[in-house]
Amino acid sequence: MSLTRMQIKELLDEGRKHDCDHYGPDVCVRIAAIADLPSRFGDFHVVAFYNNRDGKEHAAFVKGDACFGENVPVRLHSECLTGDAIGSLRCDCRDQLETALKAIGQMETGILLYLRQEGRGIGFTNKVRAYGLQDHGYDTVEANLALGFRDDEREYTVAAHMLESLKVKSIRLMTNNPRKIDGLTKHGVAVADRIPLIIPPNPHNRFYLETKAAKSGHLIDFAGKEHLLEQMDRPVVDGMTEAQIGALGDDS
Ligand SMILES: [Zn+2]
Ligand SMILES: [Zn+2]
Protein backbone atom coordinates (compact mmCIF):
# COMPACT_ATOMS: atom_id res chain seq x y z
CA MET A 1 0.00 0.00 0.00
CA SER A 2 1.23 3.43 -0.96
CA LEU A 3 -0.01 6.80 0.29
CA THR A 4 -3.42 7.58 -1.16
CA ARG A 5 -4.26 10.83 -2.90
CA MET A 6 -6.54 11.72 0.00
CA GLN A 7 -3.75 11.16 2.52
CA ILE A 8 -1.34 13.30 0.51
CA LYS A 9 -3.92 16.05 0.24
CA GLU A 10 -4.51 15.94 3.99
CA LEU A 11 -0.78 16.23 4.72
CA LEU A 12 -0.36 19.11 2.27
CA ASP A 13 -3.46 20.98 3.50
CA GLU A 14 -2.26 20.82 7.09
CA GLY A 15 1.28 21.77 6.09
CA ARG A 16 0.01 24.87 4.32
CA LYS A 17 -1.58 26.37 7.41
CA HIS A 18 0.76 24.85 9.99
CA ASP A 19 2.52 26.93 12.61
CA CYS A 20 3.53 25.87 16.11
CA ASP A 21 5.72 26.84 19.02
CA HIS A 22 6.05 23.66 21.05
CA TYR A 23 9.40 22.70 19.50
CA GLY A 24 11.06 25.95 20.57
CA PRO A 25 11.71 29.22 18.77
CA ASP A 26 13.97 27.80 16.04
CA VAL A 27 12.05 24.80 14.81
CA CYS A 28 8.78 24.63 12.95
CA VAL A 29 9.01 22.43 9.88
CA ARG A 30 6.00 22.39 7.62
CA ILE A 31 5.25 20.01 4.78
CA ALA A 32 5.59 22.00 1.56
CA ALA A 33 5.40 19.42 -1.24
CA ILE A 34 5.02 15.68 -1.85
CA ALA A 35 5.82 13.63 -4.95
CA ASP A 36 6.45 10.08 -6.12
CA LEU A 37 10.09 9.06 -6.06
CA PRO A 38 10.98 5.76 -7.69
CA SER A 39 14.58 4.93 -6.78
CA ARG A 40 17.13 2.14 -7.10
CA PHE A 41 16.22 1.24 -3.52
CA GLY A 42 12.49 0.98 -4.17
CA ASP A 43 9.48 3.20 -4.67
CA PHE A 44 9.24 6.09 -2.24
CA HIS A 45 7.35 9.29 -1.77
CA VAL A 46 9.58 12.30 -1.20
CA VAL A 47 8.23 14.87 1.23
CA ALA A 48 9.75 18.36 1.23
CA PHE A 49 9.79 20.15 4.56
CA TYR A 50 10.49 23.83 5.05
CA ASN A 51 11.53 25.32 8.36
CA ASN A 52 9.81 28.67 8.42
CA ARG A 53 12.09 29.84 11.24
CA ASP A 54 15.56 29.29 9.77
CA GLY A 55 14.75 28.71 6.10
CA LYS A 56 16.28 25.22 6.04
CA GLU A 57 14.78 22.48 3.90
CA HIS A 58 14.59 18.87 5.06
CA ALA A 59 13.35 15.71 3.37
CA ALA A 60 11.48 12.56 4.28
CA PHE A 61 11.58 9.49 2.07
CA VAL A 62 8.46 7.48 2.75
CA LYS A 63 8.06 3.83 1.78
CA GLY A 64 4.52 2.50 1.50
CA ASP A 65 1.79 4.11 3.56
CA ALA A 66 4.12 4.72 6.52
CA CYS A 67 2.39 8.00 7.34
CA PHE A 68 -0.51 7.58 9.76
CA GLY A 69 1.06 4.22 10.73
CA GLU A 70 2.21 2.45 13.88
CA ASN A 71 5.60 0.80 14.55
CA VAL A 72 7.08 2.43 11.45
CA PRO A 73 10.80 1.73 10.87
CA VAL A 74 12.60 5.11 10.87
CA ARG A 75 16.20 6.11 10.21
CA LEU A 76 17.64 9.57 10.87
CA HIS A 77 20.39 10.66 8.50
CA SER A 78 22.28 13.94 8.57
CA GLU A 79 23.30 15.39 5.24
CA CYS A 80 26.90 14.80 4.19
CA LEU A 81 27.56 16.10 0.68
CA THR A 82 31.06 14.65 0.43
CA GLY A 83 30.01 11.23 1.68
CA ASP A 84 26.42 10.84 0.46
CA ALA A 85 26.90 12.19 -3.06
CA ILE A 86 30.60 11.78 -3.81
CA GLY A 87 31.49 8.67 -1.83
CA SER A 88 34.18 10.27 0.31
CA LEU A 89 36.13 7.82 2.42
CA ARG A 90 36.73 10.35 5.17
CA CYS A 91 33.48 9.16 6.70
CA ASP A 92 31.05 6.32 6.16
CA CYS A 93 27.91 8.38 5.71
CA ARG A 94 27.17 6.90 2.31
CA ASP A 95 27.43 3.33 3.59
CA GLN A 96 25.03 4.21 6.36
CA LEU A 97 22.63 5.94 4.00
CA GLU A 98 22.63 3.13 1.44
CA THR A 99 22.24 0.43 4.06
CA ALA A 100 19.27 2.22 5.57
CA LEU A 101 17.63 2.86 2.18
CA LYS A 102 18.18 -0.73 1.07
CA ALA A 103 16.64 -2.00 4.30
CA ILE A 104 13.64 0.35 4.14
CA GLY A 105 13.24 -0.30 0.41
CA GLN A 106 12.66 -3.97 1.16
CA MET A 107 10.20 -3.29 3.96
CA GLU A 108 6.51 -2.72 3.51
CA THR A 109 6.69 0.66 5.21
CA GLY A 110 9.46 2.86 6.51
CA ILE A 111 10.77 6.42 6.59
CA LEU A 112 14.21 7.91 6.14
CA LEU A 113 14.47 11.45 7.48
CA TYR A 114 17.21 13.33 5.66
CA LEU A 115 18.23 16.21 7.89
CA ARG A 116 20.00 19.13 6.27
CA GLN A 117 22.59 19.56 8.96
CA GLU A 118 25.81 19.25 7.02
CA GLY A 119 28.95 18.95 9.11
CA ARG A 120 27.05 18.59 12.34
CA GLY A 121 25.06 21.68 11.62
CA ILE A 122 28.00 24.04 11.04
CA GLY A 123 27.68 23.85 7.28
CA PHE A 124 29.65 22.54 4.36
CA THR A 125 32.33 25.22 4.28
CA ASN A 126 33.27 24.78 7.91
CA LYS A 127 33.36 21.03 7.51
CA VAL A 128 35.82 21.34 4.64
CA ARG A 129 37.87 23.81 6.68
CA ALA A 130 38.14 21.20 9.42
CA TYR A 131 39.16 18.55 6.87
CA GLY A 132 41.81 20.99 5.63
CA LEU A 133 43.13 21.50 9.15
CA GLN A 134 43.47 17.74 9.54
CA ASP A 135 45.31 17.54 6.22
CA HIS A 136 47.79 20.06 7.57
CA GLY A 137 48.53 18.19 10.71
CA TYR A 138 45.98 19.47 13.16
CA ASP A 139 45.01 16.78 15.60
CA THR A 140 41.41 15.75 15.98
CA VAL A 141 40.86 17.89 19.05
CA GLU A 142 41.93 21.03 17.23
CA ALA A 143 39.99 20.09 14.13
CA ASN A 144 37.02 19.24 16.32
CA LEU A 145 37.09 22.72 17.77
CA ALA A 146 37.07 24.12 14.25
CA LEU A 147 34.26 21.79 13.28
CA GLY A 148 32.19 22.56 16.34
CA PHE A 149 30.16 20.05 18.25
CA ARG A 150 27.09 18.33 17.05
CA ASP A 151 23.95 19.89 18.29
CA ASP A 152 22.18 16.63 19.04
CA GLU A 153 19.22 18.34 20.61
CA ARG A 154 18.36 20.17 17.43
CA GLU A 155 18.52 17.04 15.34
CA TYR A 156 16.00 15.31 17.60
CA THR A 157 13.76 18.36 17.61
CA VAL A 158 13.56 18.61 13.82
CA ALA A 159 13.11 14.85 13.46
CA ALA A 160 10.37 14.72 16.10
CA HIS A 161 8.49 17.54 14.41
CA MET A 162 8.77 15.86 10.99
CA LEU A 163 7.37 12.61 12.38
CA GLU A 164 4.49 14.47 13.98
CA SER A 165 3.77 16.30 10.70
CA LEU A 166 3.75 12.92 8.91
CA LYS A 167 1.23 11.73 11.51
CA VAL A 168 3.30 8.72 12.43
CA LYS A 169 1.82 7.17 15.57
CA SER A 170 4.84 5.15 16.74
CA ILE A 171 8.22 4.17 15.34
CA ARG A 172 10.87 1.49 15.46
CA LEU A 173 14.12 3.45 15.38
CA MET A 174 16.92 2.08 13.21
CA THR A 175 19.87 2.67 15.48
CA ASN A 176 22.55 0.79 17.36
CA ASN A 177 22.39 3.10 20.35
CA PRO A 178 19.44 2.59 22.70
CA ARG A 179 20.19 5.94 24.34
CA LYS A 180 19.32 7.76 21.12
CA ILE A 181 15.76 6.68 21.70
CA ASP A 182 15.57 8.97 24.73
CA GLY A 183 16.27 12.02 22.60
CA LEU A 184 13.20 11.40 20.46
CA THR A 185 11.02 10.21 23.32
CA LYS A 186 11.71 13.47 25.14
CA HIS A 187 10.10 15.30 22.23
CA GLY A 188 6.97 13.17 22.29
CA VAL A 189 7.83 10.48 19.75
CA ALA A 190 6.52 7.03 20.70
CA VAL A 191 9.45 4.68 20.10
CA ALA A 192 8.09 1.16 20.26
CA ASP A 193 11.27 -0.68 19.41
CA ARG A 194 14.78 -0.54 18.00
CA ILE A 195 16.11 -2.08 14.79
CA PRO A 196 19.91 -2.49 14.64
CA LEU A 197 21.63 -1.05 11.57
CA ILE A 198 24.13 -3.59 10.30
CA ILE A 199 26.41 -2.75 7.38
CA PRO A 200 28.00 -5.45 5.23
CA PRO A 201 31.81 -5.38 5.40
CA ASN A 202 33.71 -3.79 2.51
CA PRO A 203 37.23 -2.42 2.03
CA HIS A 204 36.09 1.05 3.01
CA ASN A 205 34.63 0.31 6.39
CA ARG A 206 37.48 -1.92 7.49
CA PHE A 207 38.44 0.65 10.10
CA TYR A 208 35.28 -0.15 11.98
CA LEU A 209 36.46 -3.69 12.38
CA GLU A 210 39.67 -2.69 14.08
CA THR A 211 39.45 -3.28 17.80
CA LYS A 212 41.29 -0.05 18.46
CA ALA A 213 38.79 1.96 16.51
CA ALA A 214 35.89 0.65 18.54
CA LYS A 215 37.63 0.67 21.90
CA SER A 216 39.15 4.13 21.75
CA GLY A 217 35.91 5.62 20.49
CA HIS A 218 37.72 6.93 17.41
CA LEU A 219 37.60 5.83 13.84
CA ILE A 220 41.06 5.22 12.44
CA ASP A 221 41.55 4.84 8.70
CA PHE A 222 44.19 2.77 6.94
CA ALA A 223 46.67 5.65 7.00
CA GLY A 224 46.34 5.97 10.75
CA LYS A 225 44.32 9.17 10.51
CA GLU A 226 41.29 9.60 12.67
CA HIS A 227 37.91 10.36 11.17
CA LEU A 228 35.39 12.66 12.71
CA LEU A 229 31.98 11.18 13.25
CA GLU A 230 29.38 12.85 11.11
CA GLN A 231 26.34 10.71 11.74
CA MET A 232 24.89 10.60 15.19
CA ASP A 233 25.13 6.90 15.67
CA ARG A 234 27.44 4.29 14.32
CA PRO A 235 26.51 1.28 12.31
CA VAL A 236 27.57 -2.20 13.24
CA VAL A 237 29.65 -3.83 10.52
CA ASP A 238 28.78 -7.46 10.02
CA GLY A 239 31.71 -9.38 11.49
CA MET A 240 32.37 -7.21 14.52
CA THR A 241 32.94 -8.94 17.84
CA GLU A 242 30.54 -8.49 20.74
CA ALA A 243 33.15 -6.35 22.50
CA GLN A 244 33.51 -4.07 19.49
CA ILE A 245 29.76 -3.66 19.20
CA GLY A 246 29.51 -2.97 22.92
CA ALA A 247 32.17 -0.27 22.67
CA LEU A 248 30.34 1.68 19.95
CA GLY A 249 27.95 3.52 22.21
CA ASP A 250 30.50 4.39 24.89
CA ASP A 251 31.33 7.96 24.00
CA SER A 252 28.26 9.09 22.18
ZN1 LIG B 1 5.50 23.41 13.69
ZN1 LIG C 1 30.11 12.09 6.07
pLDDT tens-digit map of 103-159: 999 999 999 999 998 877 788 998 898 888 888 888 777 777 777 766 667 788 999
Give the count of alpha carbons within 13 A of 23, CB side only.
27
What distance in angstroms lies between residue 137's CA and the mean position of ligand 2's atoms?
20
Separation CA 97–CA 107 (nearest Å): 15
Q: Which CATH number fits domain 5-201: 3.30.1490.190, 3.40.50.620, 3.40.50.10990, 3.40.50.720?
A: 3.40.50.10990
Domain boundaries, the chain: 5-201
Q: Which residues pair with 107 in a beta bridge?
A: none
Strand partners, 195: 174
Q: Is the dihedral of CA 31, 117, 79, 217 positive or negative?
A: negative
Q: Which SS3 state, helix, strand or coil, does residue 33 take?
A: strand
Of the bound ligands, which one is closest to the alpha carbon of residue 81?
2
Mean per-residue pLDDT, 175-181: 83
CA of 209 to the centre of ligand 2 (A): 18
Catalytic residue among 152, 172, 194, 206: 152
Separation of CA 56 and ligand 1 centre (Å): 13
Surface-to-core class of residue 200, CB atoms within 10 Å of its CB (0-12 exposed, 13-18 middle, 19+ buried): exposed
pLDDT at 190 over 60: yes
Report the 10 Å Cβ neighbour count for 189.
Answer: 22
> How many angstroms is it from 69 CA to the middle of ligand 2?
30
Bigger pLDDT: 153 vs 47:
47
Least confident of 166-175, 186-195, 233-242: 233-242
Is residue 251 part of the annotated active site? The answer reads no
* Cα diameter, the chain: 56
- Does the annotation mark 152 as catalytic? yes
pLDDT for residue 216 is more than 50: no
Could you say which ligand is closest to the alpha carbon of residue 120? 2
Q: How many CB atoms lie within 10 A of CB 113?
A: 23
pLDDT digits (tens, 9 = 90+) for 90-107: 888 898 999 999 999 999
The reported pTM is: 0.90
pLDDT above 70 as % of the chain: 86
